[in-house]
A = this chain, B = another copy of it.
Amino acid sequence: MTAHPKWYLPEDRYFDPDPAQRRVAMELYASVADLPIISPHGHVDPRLLADDHASFGTPADLLIIPDHYVFRMLYSQGIRLKDLGIPRTDGVLIEKDHRKIWQVFAEHYTLFRGTPTGAWLAHSLRDVFGIEEKLTKGTAQGIYDEIETKLRSQEFRPRALFKRFNIEVLCTTDAATDRLTYHQSIRTSGWNGNVRPTFRPDAVTNLLNPSWRENIRKLGELSGIAVDGYPRFIKALEERRTFFKSMGARATDHAVESAYTAELSPAEAGSIFQRGLQGKANAEDAHRFTAHMVMESARMGIEDGLVMQLHVGALRDHNELVYRSYGADKGADIPVASEFTRNLRPLLNRYGIDSRLTLILFTLDESTYARELAPLAGHYAAVKLGPPWWFHDSINGMNRYFDRVMETAGIHNTAGFNDDTRAFLSIPARHDLWRRVGANWIAGLVVRGIVDMEDAREMILDISYRLAKKTYKLE
């Protein structure tokens, strides 16, 4: 395969070209490149780590089928999801030949030029699998062979990679009604990997979730509390949070389309909840109830110490055809403009002044960084800003984040990095990219005379490692 072009991953990649800045960036990066990974928020399937023999499956199972960043780009160019092996919920047959899927992927690999997905894939293929050649039509099958062979070996089992990736702690995201069976297995298996669940109650707090009533039933079953109304619903949630805490959880996670918060009277909350149980809740009910439950979650966070994450602004399942045929999380969630200043005011006036609460805000609307989020985080003791999320978890997205957030919020009101990924293999690539872009940003401050090297060395440690650990109480 000597004639094939190689991956282009120079040692000083993602640094500005100016030699002075590059020198400083390299020095700062080198000081954190080998630090352990703190992964306080993500979507890795805990099953992968539940026993020593769990496997990633085929190269397509590993790199294409679970990764909506990858397949939505192929879909945008007219390739059908079923031809990529994405499982359908409606029983229609999908492509089963993973070599064929891989070939399609390889032949369209140029779509990823200049994208973060392209950068993560190149890093994973070269640094995890030792593949030097670029993925092309011609190299596709050879690379498939190589990955497949490696995936069969013990060194490429998830737990082996967890260790090789130097992951100090990994937090998953789990439904309120999850029994945490795999987390239980991890804990009882004797393996020393630090894997923690995160409590995500959206499916029981969002009345518009199609399975809401079923989820409430499960919630009752698991908590041992018959959820016949709002008061017991709150009790059951608190019970589940206690269980999650006992299983190592440090945080909760809440995904909402809008940051609207409002405290309902017990009477209003109760009657909306009853309408939900009767299948009669409308959109306004759901909107109000979600706003109230965000506030309730802050209250609970003060009481039990779980850190609260709020992910705002994704309109889920924009493409109804994809949703009907393939279900949720299929690369068809599209951001909307968000508002935080007015929407969070009730919550912040009630709970944001309390240092016991940690409220980490995530946005998909970058216009809120400098306008709303940095001023809020630069004032309220409870508020921290999460790192650039999703579409913005990229070189430019990070640069915009540093540019717009840090002058007003200061780095100590930010929460370090999250990889937020379901693609286990991309974890080191994503953290490495953050550390490089962060080092380059700080180096830019140094060569512009804004911070000195003493400060710079502290700052790169903070953003690469310490802030995530501290904010999520993982110390």
Contact = CB atoms under 8 A, between A and B. Distances in A.
A447 interface: yes
A427 B110 CA distance: 30
Given A321-B353, A452-B8, A392 B410 contact: no
B16 A375 contact: no
A230 B33 CA distance: 66
Given A379-B332, A449-B10, A407 B110 contact: no
Interface in A73-90: 73, 75-78
A381 interface: yes
Contact of A114 (B339, B397, B413, B450): B450
A59 B416 CA distance: 34
Nearest to A367: B367
A221 interface: no
Which one of A14, A372, A450, A451 has the highest number of Cβ atoms from chain B below 10 Å of its Cβ?
A450
Given A318-B348, A319-B348, A75 B111 contact: no
Interface string A101-139: 000000000111111100100000000000000000000
A450 B410 contact: no
A336 B332 contact: no
Of the four ranges (under 10, 10 to 19, 20 to 34, 35 or more), the interface on chain A belongs to 35 or more
Taken together, the copies of this chain in the complex come to: 3
A391 interface: yes
A365 B341 CA distance: 12
A285 B116 CA distance: 44
Contact of A345 (B77, B318, B378, B459): B318
A18 B18 contact: yes
Contacts of A380: 76, 319
A349 interface: yes
Interface string A12-46: 11111110110000000000000000000000000
Contacts of A335: 341, 371-372, 375
A127 to B, nearest CB: 14
A459 B409 CA distance: 32
For A367, A374, A411, A448, the residue with the greatest tally of chain B CB atoms inside 10 Å of its CB is A448
A154 interface: no
B366 A448 contact: no
A225 interface: no
A258 to B, nearest CB: 12
A334 B366 contact: no
A395 B315 CA distance: 32
Contacts of A300: none
A173 interface: no
Contact of A449 (B12, B381, B410, B412): B12
A425 interface: no
A331 interface: yes
The list of the 4 closest CB pairs from A to B, nearest first, reads A13-B449, A8-B452, A17-B447, A10-B449
Given A334-B372, A391-B408, 18 more contacts: A9-B449, A17-B18, A72-B379, A76-B383, A76-B409, A77-B412, A115-B410, A318-B341, A319-B353, A319-B380, A332-B379, A333-B375, A336-B341, A336-B372, A337-B337, A337-B367, A365-B371, A394-B407
